[in-house]
């Protein structure tokens, strides 16, 4: 049974006295015999908590003596007070916030690591592309030099064949070179060049060496 309390100085009473004041008639009789039983239970709870050193709040005493029905202590003093057990959700909430913050930090670190890995892979890809272009350029240079040698040999061969003495003497077309000889005269010459910082960088370039000794 719930009764709205009248504030006649009762807001300064402890909960058992407050309950008795609001559940008795003017002649001091209980409005219901069950109220006396509940009041007695409140006194026992207060005594036990006092002996154990664990003081019960009004809310805890109301819950243990009267049950979980609402509004039993409506208007009593400054209202219900949080017990130690009721503060547990707050601690749990703080723990969750801490865990979320930790996860957020770990996710940021993983994001940075992935970004760094992406940059490294991109750098390696660019380096491979540059190496590929250099190899292709070298192949083009070799092909170009080979074509020059081929044309040169053709011209020399035709020139020597047409050089016959008019007096009938036989012309010697012996040479110390041949097409295959010239083709095999490619080599890599070790060369050095300066870098942009004034240092010396070793570089190996394909150089076409041509040694032709003609016999006339």
Predicted local distance difference test score (pLDDT) of residue 46: 86
Rounded to an integer, what distance in angstroms lies between the CA atom of residue 94 and that of residue 100? Answer: 10
Q: For residue range 158-182, list pLDDT tens digits in order.
A: 766 555 444 444 444 444 444 444 4
pLDDT-derived band at 140 (thresholds 50, 70, 90) equals: very high
Q: Which residue would you say has higher pLDDT here, 6 or 69?
A: 69
Containing H/E element for 133? helix 88-161
Looking at the chain, the whole-number percentage of residues with pLDDT higher than 90 is 15
Rounded to an integer, what distance in angstroms lies between the CA atom of residue 94 and that of residue 102? Answer: 12
Q: For residue range 182-213, list pLDDT tens digits in order.
A: 444 444 444 444 444 444 444 444 444 444 43
Q: Which residue would you say has higher pLDDT here, 139 or 10?
A: 139
Q: Which residue would you say has higher pLDDT here, 62 or 212?
A: 62
Question: Which token pair is 142?
Answer: 């070799």
Predicted local distance difference test score (pLDDT) of residue 75: 45
Q: Where are the domains of the chain?
A: 10-83, 90-208
Q: Give the bridge partners for 147, in sequence order.
A: none
Instruction: Say whether pTM exceeds 0.75.
Output: no
SS3 50: helix
Predicted local distance difference test score (pLDDT) of residue 68: 66
DSSP letter at 30 equals: B
């Amino acid at each position: 049974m719930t009764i709205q309390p009248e504030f006649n100085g009762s807001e300064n009473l402890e909960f058992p006295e407050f309950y008795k004041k609001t559940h008795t008639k003017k002649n001091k009789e209980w409005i219901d015999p069950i109220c006396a039983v509940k009041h007695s239970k409140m006194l026992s709870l207060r005594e036990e908590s006092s002996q154990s050193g664990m003081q019960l709040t009004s809310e805890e005493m109301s819950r243990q003596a009267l049950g979980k029905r609402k509004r039993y202590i409506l208007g009593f003093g400054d209202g219900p007070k949080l017990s130690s057990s009721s503060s547990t959700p707050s601690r749990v909430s703080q723990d969750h916030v801490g865990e979320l913050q930790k996860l957020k930090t770990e996710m940021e670190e993983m994001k940075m690591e992935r970004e760094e890995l992406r940059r490294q892979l991109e750098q390696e890809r660019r380096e491979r592309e540059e190496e590929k272009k250099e190899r292709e350029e070298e192949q083009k240079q070799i092909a170009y030099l080979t074509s020059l040698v081929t044309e040169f040999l053709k011209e020399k061969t035709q020139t020597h064949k047409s050089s016959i003495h008019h007096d009938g003497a036989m012309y010697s077309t012996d040479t110390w070179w041949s097409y295959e000889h010239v083709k095999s005269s490619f080599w890599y010459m070790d060369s050095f060049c300066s870098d942009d910082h004034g240092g010396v960088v070793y570089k190996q370039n394909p150089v076409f060496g041509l040694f032709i000794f003609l016999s006339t």
